[in-house]
């Protein structure tokens, strides 16, 4: 759906620093900013040319492309479901997060992540899963403290 995706920082080192992206949909050029986890379209907005559902699909694809470019931290959307204690020394945390529209769940115990089925390595590149796991471990460790 999205062609020729480009991304760059604009207004670098200023309070209003943004990530700006450019893309083509059906031969039409669009620009937008990504800031504080939100997409803000510049003029023209794609909804002027495609329906609301298509805009949602494009935004999901843009978020995915931003993740692949290392700009969007997917782990910001992690949900920590509950903390179970088998005993005081081994807290167990369950978590879930969405990547490429797919929900992944796992547990975090003794500093290790165990993924439930489906495992992200079956659908994502190893480098990306490694980065996601590092971010998940950091976030869950902070949550335990």
pLDDT tens, 91-109? 678 888 887 677 889 988 8
Residue-wise burial string across 100-117, b where 16 or more C-beta atoms lie within 10 A, e elsewhere? beeebebbbbeeebebee
pLDDT in the model for residue 41: 95
Q: Is the pLDDT of residue 70 over 80?
A: no
Global confidence as pTM: 0.57
**What is the radius of gyration, based on Cα positions, of the chain?**
18
What are the beta bridge partners of residue 75?
A: none
21 CB-side CA count, 13 A: 27
């Amino acid at each position: 759906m999205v062609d020729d995706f480009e991304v760059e920082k604009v207004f670098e080192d200023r309070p209003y620093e943004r990530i700006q992206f450019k893309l083509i949909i059906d031969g039409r050029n669009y620009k937008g900013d990504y800031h504080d986890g939100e997409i803000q379209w510049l003029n023209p907005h794609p909804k002027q040319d495609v329906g609301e559902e298509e805009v949602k699909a494009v935004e999901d694809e843009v978020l995915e492309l931003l993740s692949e470019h290392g700009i969007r931290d997917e782990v910001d959307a992690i949900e920590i479901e509950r903390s179970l204690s088998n005993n005081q020394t081994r807290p167990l945390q369950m978590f879930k997060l969405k990547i490429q529209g797919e929900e992944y769940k796992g547990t975090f115990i003794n500093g290790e992540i165990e993924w439930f089925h489906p495992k992200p390595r079956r659908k994502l590149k190893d480098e990306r899963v490694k980065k996601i796991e590092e971010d998940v471990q950091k976030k869950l460790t902070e949550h335990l403290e």
